[in-house]
């Protein structure tokens, strides 16, 4: 009978040698192999010659405890990959059909707390790419995932609520400027990549000299973040994330003119974002110990991808070209000459702008047309760093003017860098 069990108390290679030596000498045990990484014991024994209770007593004498049975090494990856595939498929289906109600926040009308809660729920699907990696880095942990997830969400709720109260009382939105929206995603993206590399087992951070030196210098901070305070503190900081719906909620809270009303509005919104984030932690916490180990590694790779994506968003917001021009970059059929201007008409979609091609040394009048219902928390502000344009869009026609004096491809994007397009300037 071949079984795999979680063993409590395994810490080093000496533990491995001690357990394997003592069990291998027992009659009825054909194989006893300890995996340090998963802290598990694979044992092949004959139950007619030695019972499981006897094996447990042997381990207890040695100072270890035989815990739950794990899936076999062959079945475990298949099961986890299947569950992950189903979860991703369901998320994609739901996110594609869930409407974005965030534009209701800018309509000037008072909304009920229930409606604000619903807006929080729907926008959490559309903005998972911005904050999902941070949440995932907290729940794919070898520690108590559920507890860490709860603390992370409590931190977010407190941060959002206080932010709404301050904005409502002070009467000014917490807008920190385009530079902030570029720097924060780059810094957080780098941290996510480092965490992901460590979780995936690609790089053992504790083996790197510069990390050992850094750990020594920042030992107090590491101690705080490695315990329950870490997810809570990260949740508090999450309130300053450059997030479209969050900025629109600030505008709504600003209109309340009251600390209590602004705080209640943001509280309802933040509670609406909890189910999706919390559900991720609950799902992972329900897995067996062996499956959690595999998910921990898979999550590391996903955090790396999301971290790179967040860095690209920040670089785009800073005006650094992070993508090649599209294949239709020389198509300037949307350009007409009018009063000495190159007039460019483009349509703004819920999740897209359009590539633009203009001629050098001729002033450009860019008309961005937004149909009713197409304005979202992400596309409602456009950023064109090359020509120092950073402005909000309204439904209808939005006009911007600039002079292209240099040839080349220049990036322009939504204010968070998630919608990226190219302005190509030709002779």
User: pLDDT (tens digit, 9 = 90+) per residue, 346-360?
Assistant: 888 877 888 889 999
Query: How far from the centroid of its chain's Cα atoms is residue 287's Cα?
Result: 21
Domain boundaries, the chain: 2-70, 75-317, 335-426
CA–CA gap between residue 189 and residue 152 (Å, rounded): 18
Q: How far is CA 311 from CA 192, 197, 416, in A?
A: 10, 15, 11
The two domains 2-70 and 335-426 share their CATH topology (first three levels equal): no
- Of the ranges 55-64, 114-123, 146-155, 362-371, the best mean pLDDT one: 362-371
Q: Is 111 left (phi over 0), alpha (psi -120 to 50) or beta?
A: beta
Residues paired with 378 in a beta bridge: none
**Structure confidence at residue 369 (pLDDT):** 92
Q: What is the mean pLDDT of residues 281-285?
A: 65
Model confidence pTM above 0.75: no
The residue among 347, 349, 344 whose CA lies nearest residue 423 is 344
**Residue 157: how many other CB atoms lie within 10 Å:** 21
**Superfamily, domain 335-426:** Cupredoxins -  blue copper proteins (2.60.40.420)
**Structure confidence at residue 326 (pLDDT):** 42
The residue among 74, 314, 273 whose CA lies nearest residue 187 is 314
**Structure confidence at residue 203 (pLDDT):** 59
Which tokens is 121 given? Answer: 């729920």
Exposure b/e, 359-395, CB count within 10 A at least 16 = b = eeeeebbbebebeeebbbbbbbbbbbbbbeeeeebeb
- When the pLDDT of each residue in the chain is averaged and rounded to a whole number, the result is 75
| The pLDDT of residue 206 is above 70 | no
Would you give the DSSP letter of residue 326?
A: P
145-156: pLDDT as tens digits? 677 778 888 888
Residue 349 CB-half CA count within 13 A: 8
Considering the four listed CATH numbers 3.30.70.100, 3.40.440.10, 1.10.10.10, 1.10.3720.10, the one that applies to the domain covering 2-70 is 3.30.70.100
| The pLDDT of residue 103 is above 60 | yes
The residue among 96, 125, 137 whose CA lies nearest residue 302 is 137
CA–CA gap between residue 14 and residue 12 (Å, rounded): 5
359-381: pLDDT as tens digits? 999 999 999 998 887 777 677 78
* Phi, psi (rounded to 5 degrees) for 8: -85, 130
């Amino acid at each position: 009978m071949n079984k795999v069990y979680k063993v409590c108390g395994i810490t080093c290679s000496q533990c491995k040698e001690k357990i394997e030596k003592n069990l291998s000498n027992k009659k009825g045990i054909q194989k006893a192999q300890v995996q340090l990484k998963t802290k598990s014991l694979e044992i092949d024994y004959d139950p007619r010659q030695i019972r499981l209770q006897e094996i447990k007593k042997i381990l207890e004498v040695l100072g270890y405890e035989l815990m739950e049975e794990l899936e076999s090494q062959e079945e475990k990856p298949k099961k986890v990959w299947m569950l992950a595939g189903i979860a991703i498929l369901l998320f994609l289906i739901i996110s594609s059909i869930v409407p974005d109600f965030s534009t209701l926040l800018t309509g000037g009308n008072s909304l009920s707390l229930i409606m604000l809660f619903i807006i929080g729920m729907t926008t959490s699907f559309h903005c998972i790419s911005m904050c999902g990696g941070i949440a995932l880095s907290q729940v794919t942990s070898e520690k108590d995932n559920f507890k860490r997830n709860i603390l992370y969400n409590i931190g977010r709720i407190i941060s959002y609520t206080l932010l709404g109260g301050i904005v409502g009382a002070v009467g000014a939105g917490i807008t920190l400027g385009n530079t902030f929206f570029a720097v924060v995603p780059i810094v957080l993206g780098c941290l996510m990549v480092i965490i992901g590399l460590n979780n995936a087992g690609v790089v053992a951070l504790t083996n790197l000299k510069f990390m050992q030196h850094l750990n020594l210098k920042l030992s107090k901070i590491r101690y705080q973040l490695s315990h329950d305070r870490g997810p809570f503190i990260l949740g508090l900081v999450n309130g300053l994330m450059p997030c479209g719906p969050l900025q629109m909620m600030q505008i709504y809270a600003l209109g309340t003119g009251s600390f209590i009303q602004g705080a209640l509005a943001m509280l309802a919104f933040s509670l609406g974002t909890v189910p999706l984030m919390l559900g991720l932690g609950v799902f992972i916490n329900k897995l067996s110990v062996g499956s959690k180990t595999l998910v921990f590694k898979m999550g590391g790779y996903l955090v790396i991808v999301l971290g790179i994506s967040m860095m690209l968003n920040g670089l785009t917001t800073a005006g650094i070209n992070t993508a090649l021009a599209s294949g239709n970059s020389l198509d300037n059929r949307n350009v007409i000459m009018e009063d000495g201007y190159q007039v460019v008409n483009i349509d703004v979609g819920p999740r897209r702008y359009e590539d633009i091609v203009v001629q050098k040394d001729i002033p450009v009048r860019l008309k961005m047309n937004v149909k009713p219902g197409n304005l979202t928390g992400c596309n409602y502000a456009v950023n064109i760093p090359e020509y120092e344009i950073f402005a909000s869009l309204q439904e209808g026609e939005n006009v911007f003017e600039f002079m292209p004096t240099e040839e080349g491809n220049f990036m322009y994007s939504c204010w968070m860098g998630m919608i990226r397009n190219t302005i190509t300037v030709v002779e």
